[in-house]
Amino acid sequence: MSIPDTIAAASRALREGSLTAADLLDGVLERAQMTEAQLHAYLNIDHDGARVAAEAADADLAAGNDRGPLHGIPIALKDNLCTRGMETTCASQILAGWIPPYDATVVSRLREAGAVIVGKTNLDEFAMGSSTENSAYGPSFNPWDITRVPGGSSGGSAAAVAAGSALGALGSDTGGSIRQPAALTGTVGVKPTYGTVSRYGLIAFASSLDQIGPITRTVEDAALLLEAIWGHDPKDSTSYAGEYPQVRRSLDAGVDGLRIGVVKELSGEGYELAVEQAVAAMVEGLARQGAEIVEVSLPSFEIALSAYYLIAPAEASSNLARFDGVRYGLRVDGETTEEMMARTRGQGFGPEVTRRILLGTYALSAGYYDAFYGQAQRVRAAIRADLARVYAQVDALVSPTSPTVAFPAGARLDDPLAMYLSDICTIPSNLAGDPAMSVPIGLDQLGLPIGMQVMAPSLGEEVMFRVAAEVERLAGFDARPEIPVVAG
Amino acid sequence: MPVDIDIAHVARLARLELTPEEMETYRSQLGVILEHAARVQALEGEPEVGSVHGLGIEGVFRDDEVAASLDRDEVLAAAPESRDGFFVVPPALEQ
Amino acid sequence: MSWEAVIGIETHVELSTRSKMFCGCAVDFGAEPNTNICPVCLGLPGALPVPNRKAIEGIVAIGLALNCEITERSVFHRKNYFYADLPKNYQVSQFDVPVCRDGYLEIELDGETRRIGIERAHMEEDTGKSTHVGDGGRIHSASETLLDFNRSGVPLVEIVSRPDIRSAAEARAYAQELRAIVAELGVSDARLEEGSIRFDANISIRPAGSDTLGTKVEIKNMNSFRSLERAVDYEIRRQIAAVEAGQQIVQETRHWNEEAGETQSMRTKEGSSDYRYFADPDLVPLVVPPSWVEEIRASLPELPEARRKRYATLGLHPKAAAMLSSSARTIRHLFDETVAAGAPALAAFNWLTGEVTAWMRRTDTEPAELTGERLAALIALVDEGVVSATAAKEVLEGVLAGEGEPRQVAEARDLVQVSDRGALEGAVRRVLDADPDAVERLRSGEEKVIGFLVGQVMRETGGKADPRLVNELIREAVGSDG
Ligand SMILES: [Mg+2]
Ligand SMILES: [Zn+2]
């Protein structure tokens, strides 16, 4: 059946009584049925659990127990979020078949908000990658062109939302893993301020950088989903316990009087012309709406990527040490514990994960720590200092989300460094802990989506959503991908 | 110039059993990535490195209260090998 | 050439909090295997640590007791190494910024006080427990290893001494003193047998008087103070013999084998000790503001060192002060009460560490009927000659048995001494008349005869006579003025 394709519209329809949560679930499952063979957005659809949840949501709503905007809404979860009783693999062989005995905090919050969990979406193994090709269970593809990647590592979540096989999804963003796939699939993706969304139950890639966030069709939907999942969690020591921004309230405020910085370092060589032109046009649009546009320079951004590719692997090398064949997941036997562990890890991790574990182990090891990991932390401090200086002059920053549109599957698989460069615009916000989001602003000449990134200082989500909502209005982006139906 | 690394040593530290061919591939790839990563060494000045977290949160504790533990059977059911309430692994050689 | 040993000791103390360091699982060592485990202490994917406030209070108390500086803002680091009983394959610990730094501990040895520096004390988490089973249950031939994670994540304080210790006896004294402090603070069970306090020693030797440092060897697996002393002593002698035979000392970890009475090299893999420490990004800075430190300081009990000094000022010999200080809490408490009730410290000490301790051991009960007032009253009865020293022991038995105040007991048991001259003169007369020979010898200055004659009178009176008075009466009668 045909259903509304935004959370806000579906939420209204549910309350008007024009459809039920069960209808919404049918609608997204029908889309999945039509598109999964081409896209492979999901690793696992929980037909039975979702059905039970949808019926419970309908009963609840009928009984007058309205749980809010996500009540009855079908949501997909990146498969690095622990779901009690539902297989969680991180798209890795090493966790094949693992069923967590607990729910991540964001999952509990979604269940309490009445959301219907449709299933678990594909990702680059352990969220390491920018194309969702590093999945042990096969790649996902882009709904706008199924020969291209959907971006990554939350590519499955982005593809599901773009294809309509979920109304919203959660991803995780360590160096751009929500924003870059959102840009490549024409969806909205938000990386909130570090510490505002609990990481409890998110299988860690790089703990000081990881944040969970929403991927949706619209800026308003992103606000609804974000408000459902964030908030202080005593189970996460790094969780923010103070006052939270009011994002929904700021959506219609416009940009008149805001000072918006355009980051000089995030343009030029390596940036596609269509991307640069679309961003420039949007900046002009914002100026017409009354924003004061300032070109700003953040020299430390030039070495942010280098710092990221030391810090993230270093943390990952330690975070992923627990996958050792002892307590859960894969075991490849050996004569001794040491041999068993080394074989399990050698065979259980895919090449990108292995590469990053080696890289991070090296960066932390005796004799190299100061020159690599230690120095990367100083770069991180320099980035924060640069941003503090710039945010004294502007309210928000804009840039392309990704230097390029979706690239062909396989194009960067054999060149890790080229793949890493996909994240050049998104990484600084992770290193700083600041919020950033991607909003679709148009299509290139091949019909592939282009995203604009809006960045703000920590806890600056109100201004970030104000700018994003204006960008969305100006772009008037309402294109939908046409996914070829494969016979069978 | 690509950074030269003792890949066998690093793999041993990381408890990864790799074939000689894999070692060679990773050695050369890591050399190129580290050459790029070494650009962090170009940073001038000595910025103060504080907490890695941006919001300056510190001094977070929980009260000393006992909470429910997991069901042992459920946990052991997920283990590759278990017996009599224990996880079982091949013999350990070092300590 | 004469050699000098340079010894430092690393101590791990398990804190007896209700819940673990970073999760709510119970700290309970008697439990069935793997029943106190959760996503956090089992290292499940996605789990996150939150530090236990009570554990921080424990380490600060230890730091203060060891005269350390307390770091206001310290950092949790990850120590990365692979081991089956370490669930995350890293241990949350502290590295360059520990909670406690630069303290010291005073030990008493042969009446001399020595100050041993404390380099640091830091907070960390314990590992799970491995049991190696198979042929003989020995590590090298084990056919498999069983893992129990109940202990995983129990709060652990690691205390690192400076290399200020010079002998096996000092090593033992340091360990005993440290154990006494931790026990007194009440932050740990501090039981060696159960592993809730564990000592490792780092030992090297150098030519006496030199200030160079030799290659150090770490000794593990010492399960009692005696084995600690034996192991250190063995290792010092082993190193001296090796060096004198022209061999190099290898930096290594050695295992104390109690049965063989020797330290043995443990097999370790080369390159396994690069721990790749880095600040744990799952945890925020550990902040202990001065106000919290002061609160903890105010709640500290009197510690052994302060107590020994206080006993010494009451007039006890340093050895007696040390002995009393390390005796049972009941004994120390009764001592303070008895002295407060006016008894001399030495008498109180003698009674309590002698008869009372013996009674407690014999009956395996607490001396519930004994109070400081009663013991002081008993001491006064002896002093005033109301009961004899011998009879006083019986009076004490009566008091401990619940028969009432010392004087009542003495009367009821007919133990009061006869100190009435008239009542004793007859007995003295009879004894002197019966042995004129002895009387003659005493007159001629043979002093030791007086003891014999007093004894005869005591026998005559059934032990109830006051010996001092009897002595006086005999001298009067014989005309010797002794
Ligand atoms: Mg330790
Ligand atoms: Zn636990």
Give A267-307 as a 3 state SS string.
CCCCCCHHHHHHHHHHHHHHHHCCCEEEEECCHHHHHHHHH
Q: Which ligand lies nearest to the CA atom of residue C91 in the structure?
A: 1
Domain endpoint, select from C295, C310, C327: C295
Q: Does A259 touch chain B (CB under 8 A)?
A: no
Same domain, C242 and C226: yes
In a domain, C331, yes or no: yes
Separation CA C357–CA C374 (nearest Å): 16
* Chain A contact present for C49, CB below 8 A: yes
Subunits with 3+ C-beta pairs closer than 8 A to C: A, B
**Neighbour subunits, B (≥3 Cβ pairs < 8 A):** A, C
* CA separation for the pair C374, C20 (Å, rounded): 45
Mean pLDDT within C241-263 = 93
B-contacting residues in A 316-375 (Cβ below 8 Å):
317, 321, 324-331, 333-343, 345-347, 349, 354-355, 357-359, 361-363, 365, 371-372, 375
Average pLDDT score, chain C: 91
Which band of pLDDT confidence, cut at 50, 70 and 90, is reported for residue C29? confident
Q: Is residue C184 part of a domain?
A: yes
Residue C114, classed as helix, strand or coil, is: strand
The tokens for A254 are 């416009």
Each residue's pLDDT tens digit, A346-397? 999 999 999 999 999 999 998 899 999 999 999 999 999 999 999 999 999 9
Region A445-473 average pLDDT: 98
ipTM for the whole complex: 0.97
C-alpha of C179 from chain center: 6
C92 to chain A: nearest residue by CA? A318
DSSP label of A408: B
Q: What is the rounded CA–CA span in Å between residue A218 and residue C344?
A: 88
Share of chain A above pLDDT 70, in %: 99
Residue C83: inside a domain, yes or no? yes
| Domain identity same for C153 and C236 | yes
Closest CA to A180 of A218, A147, A213: A213
Angle formed at CA C227 by CA C224 and CA C233, multiple of 5 degrees: 145
Going by C-alpha positions, the residue among A161, A91, A77, A76 that lies closest to residue A131 is A91
Q: Are A325 and A344 in contact (CB under 8 A)?
A: yes
Q: With 80 as the cut, is the pLDDT of residue C395 above it?
A: yes
Q: Show residues of chain A in contact with C96, CB under 8 Å.
A: none
Ligand 1 mean position, distance from CA C152 (Å)? 13
A203, A204, A322: residue with CB nearest C87: A322
- Tell me if residue A235 is catalytic: no
**pLDDT value at residue B92:** 80
Q: State yes or no: pLDDT of A161 exceeds 80.
A: yes
CB < 8 Å to A90, chain C? 45
Q: What is the mean pLDDT of residues C398-407?
A: 94
Q: Is residue C282 part of a domain?
A: yes
Sort out which chain A residues have CB atoms less than 8 A from C78's CB and list them.
318
Q: What is the pLDDT of residues A392-420, one digit of tens each?
A: 999 999 999 999 999 999 999 988 888 89
The pLDDT value given to residue A263: 97
β partners of residue C144: C133
| C-chain residues near B78 (CB < 8 A) | none
- Cβ count near C264 (within 10 Å): 10
Enumerate the β-bridge partners of residue A439: A452
Q: In total, how many domains does chain C have?
A: 3
Is residue C414 assigned to a domain? no
Average pLDDT over residues C332-338: 94
Go through C380-399 and write b for each residue having 16 or more CB atoms within 10 A of its CB, e for each that does not: bbbeeebbbeebbbebbebb
Nearest to C33 among B12, B63, B86 (CB): B86
- In three-state secondary structure terms, A324 is coil
Render pLDDT for A190-219 as a digit per residue (tens, 0 to 9).
999 999 999 999 999 999 999 999 999 999
Band (pLDDT 50/70/90 cuts) for residue C402 is very high
User: Dihedral angle at the C-alpha atoms of C379, C385, C390, C391, nearest 10 degrees?
Assistant: -90
Q: Is the pLDDT of residue A469 over 60?
A: yes
Residue ranges of the alpha helices (H) in chain B?
Answer: 7-13, 20-37, 72-77
Does any CB of chain A come closer than 8 Å to the CB of residue C282? Answer: yes
- CATH of B7-42, picked from 1.10.10, 2.60.40, 3.30.70, 1.10.20, is 1.10.20
Please name which of A461, A487, A484 lies closest in space to residue A39, comparing C-alpha atoms: A484
Task: Judge whether C415 lies within some domain.
Answer: no
One domain, residues C57 and C200: yes
Of the three residues C295, C314, C342, the one that is the final residue of a domain is C295
Q: Considering A131, A177, A300, A438, which one is annotated as catalytic?
A: A177
Question: In this complex, do A359 and B60 lie within 8 Å of one another by their Cβ atoms?
Answer: no
Q: Is A153 a catalytic residue?
A: yes
**Are C144 and B90 an interchain contact pair (Cβ–Cβ within 8 Å)?**
yes
- The mean predicted confidence, pLDDT, of chain A is 97
**Do C257 and C356 sit in the same domain of this protein?**
no
Quick check: B39 pLDDT over 70?
A: yes
pLDDT classification of A167: cutoffs 50, 70, 90: very high
Residues C80 and C174 in one domain: yes
| C386 and C427 part of one domain | no
pLDDT of res. A114: 98
Q: Read off the DSSP letter of residue A217.
A: S
Which of the listed residues C266, C295, C324 is the one where a domain comes to its end?
C295
| A242 CB neighbour count, 10 Å cutoff | 10
Report the SS3 class of residue C31. Answer: coil
Are C114 and C185 within one domain? Answer: yes
Same domain, C143 and C240: yes
Nearest to C45 among A82, A207, A315 (CB): A82
Query: Distance between CA atoms of A79 and A214, rounded to whole angstroms?
Result: 14
pLDDT bucket at C480, cuts 50 / 70 / 90: low
Q: Are residues C441 and C405 in the same domain?
A: no
Q: Could you report the per-residue pLDDT of A301-357, keeping only the tens digit for each?
A: 999 999 999 999 999 999 999 999 999 999 999 999 999 999 999 999 999 999 999
CB within 8 A of A145, min separation 6: which ones? A406, A446, A447, A448
CA of B55 to the centre of ligand 2 (A): 27
Least confident of A401-410, A459-468, C17-26, C379-388: C379-388
Quick check: C427 pLDDT over 50?
yes
**Domain with C429 in it: what CATH number?**
1.10.10.410
Do C324 and C369 sit in the same domain of this protein? Answer: yes
Q: Which residues contact C283 (CB under 8 A, 6 or more apart)?
A: A237, A238, C49, C51, C76, C92
Do C216 and C244 belong to one domain? Answer: yes
Domains of chain A and any CATH numbers: 7-251 (3.90.1300.10)
> In this structure, are C123 and C16 located in the same domain?
yes
Reported confidence tier of residue C414, pLDDT bands at 50, 70, 90: confident
Peptide bond into C265 cis (omega under 30): no
Chains that touch A (3 or more CB pairs under 8 A): B, C
| Residue A78 is among the residues annotated as catalytic for this protein | yes
Q: Is C89 among the domain residues?
A: yes
The predicted pLDDT at position C267 comes to 65
Question: A46-55, C124-133, C136-145, C231-240: lowest mean pLDDT where?
Answer: C136-145
Q: Domain of residue C324: give its range.
A: 302-409
Q: Which residues of C touch B88 (CB under 8 A)?
A: 144-147
β-strand partners of A78: A121
Q: List all residues 6 or more positions away from B61 whose beta carbon is below 8 Å from its beta carbon.
A: C50, C51, C52, C53, C56
